[in-house]
């Protein structure tokens, strides 16, 4: 059995690239000034900050002033959702928000928080593959709807949503559209011009950048075609990031983020193709060789690196622990919800029965994953599953 650690949990976080670390190290040691300071050291930091903003914007195909740096993807989600909802309600435009029933907790819990302030939340359902039902989504729209927030790709099952179609539906109604792209950003093509969203959230540590830096895209710099802001800041302070996110900017982290974004978009197609081949080998081999297994999420409309499979008759936590002892680091679902005992709300939304949900395993491939590692994992997985099933029958 394999003992050297093999990391297959890249959806939870990724290791920092050497190029990213080196870029950050130089800033920490040589350019540590506060970007708001007027002296030369502060202005050096300010220049690095704006250069980083330009790099991210250029890679993503937007304007630099449309990029806001935050402390995390979760914070970017909160600014987008709370900021828009409160602004729109304050202008008397409505109090209804539409989301999906498989969103990440950063979106799901933020929407539920809004209910304390009189907002009504509708969670549009998904089909058995985890794709938002567009007819049900459109039926949920009402005159009071001011915001829709639907993730670009699901963090647990990897299913990619029909963002462009959703954007078209909302554009006809004049409803603001936010997409949580934390898992999708830098992994699959995203087009701000054609996909129809005004707001997008991303996170550096999902693309081999540092933890503690998020990205928020604000179309039109947060203003509509008439120049009126469609959202508002949710945190008071010194007016950093053009007033959208007050707090001293994490310049070293932002410089590292820019480097990570640059590399991710330059190598997006190459990495996507390579990871897709490994993903498909992983999925096909498990479904073909291990009986009573179920793929969670759409077979092809999924992130290149994501494989989520349920093993009937096996406890997911027990499987995870056995694999960890064997040297494989995987997960049972979202790392952000792994401390609770509740069943995955994503798998529940797919209509999975409790027995199937209990044995779910998420395996996510990364830049360093090799064919040899996948084959080693497959060689060990089958016997471990068989052993756990045998043990469960004895209990």
Catalytic residues: 336
Cα–chain center distance at 356: 24
| Phi, psi angle pair for 329, to nearest 5° | -105, 110
Cβ 81 vs Cβ 147: under 8 Å:
yes
Rounded-to-integer distance, Cα 308 and Cα 304, Å: 12
CB 197 within 8 A of CB 177: yes
Q: Helix count (H) and strand count (E) of the chain?
A: 12, 12
Spatial contact of 210 and 204, defined as CB atoms under 8 Å apart: yes
User: Contact at 8 Å (CB) between 320 and 335?
Assistant: no
Token pair of 202 as six digits? 């991303």
Torsion angle (degrees, nearest 10) of CA 342, 347, 352, 357: -50
Q: 180: helix, coil or strand? A: strand
Question: How many angstroms separate the CA atoms of 25 and 9, rounded?
Answer: 26
Structure-token pair, residue 249: 């900017």
Q: Tell which residue, 277, 300, 280, 294, has the closest CA to residue 385.
A: 294
Q: Say how far apart CA 93 and CA 82 lie, in whole Å.
A: 15
* Phi, psi dihedrals of residue 190, rounded to the nearest 5°: -135, 130
């Amino acid at each position: 059995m394999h003992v050297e650690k093999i990391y297959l949990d890249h959806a939870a976080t990724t290791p920092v690239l050497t190029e990213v670390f080196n870029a950050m190290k130089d800033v920490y040691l040589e350019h540590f000034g506060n970007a708001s300071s007027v002296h030369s050291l502060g202005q050096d930091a300010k220049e690095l900050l704006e250069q980083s903003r330009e790099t991210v914007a250029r890679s993503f195909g937007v304007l630099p002033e449309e990029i806001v740096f935050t402390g995390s993807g979760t914070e970017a989600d909160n600014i987008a959702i709370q900021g828009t909802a409160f602004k729109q309600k304050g202008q008397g435009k409505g109090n209804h928000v539409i989301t999906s029933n498989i969103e990440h907790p950063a979106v799901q819990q933020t929407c539920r928080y809004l209910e304390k302030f009189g907002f009504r939340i509708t969670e549009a359902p998904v089909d058995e593959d985890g794709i938002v039902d567009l007819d049900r989504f459109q039926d949920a729209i009402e005159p009071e709807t001011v915001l829709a927030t639907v993730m670009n790709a699901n963090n647990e099952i990897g299913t990619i949503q029909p963002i462009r179609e959703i954007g078209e539906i909302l554009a006809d109604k004049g409803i603001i559209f936010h997409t949580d792209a934390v898992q999708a950003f830098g992994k699959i093509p995203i087009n701000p011009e054609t996909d129809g969203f005004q707001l997008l959230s991303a996170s550096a540590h999902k693309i081999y950048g540092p933890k503690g830096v998020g990205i928020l895209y604000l179309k039109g710099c947060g203003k509509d075609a008439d120049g009126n802001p469609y959202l508002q800041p949710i945190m008071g302070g010194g007016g950093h990031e053009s007033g959208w996110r007050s707090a001293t900017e994490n310049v070293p982290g932002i410089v590292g983020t820019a480097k990570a974004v640059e590399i991710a978009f330059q190598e997006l197609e190459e990495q996507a193709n390579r990871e897709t081949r490994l993903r498909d080998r992983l999925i096909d081999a498990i479904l073909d060789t291990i009986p009573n297994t179920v793929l969670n999420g759409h077979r092809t409309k999924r992130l290149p690196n994501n494989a989520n499979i349920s093993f009937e008759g096996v406890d997911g936590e027990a499987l995870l622990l056995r694999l960890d002892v064997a040297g494989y680091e995987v997960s049972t679902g979202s790392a952000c919800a792994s401390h609770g005992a509740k069943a995955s709300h994503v798998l529940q939304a797919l209509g999975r029965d409790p027995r199937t949900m209990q044995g779910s395993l998420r395996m996510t491939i990364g830049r360093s994953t090799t064919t040899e590692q996948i084959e080693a994992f497959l060689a060990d997985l089958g016997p471990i599953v068989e052993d756990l099933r045998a043990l469960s029958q004895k209990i």
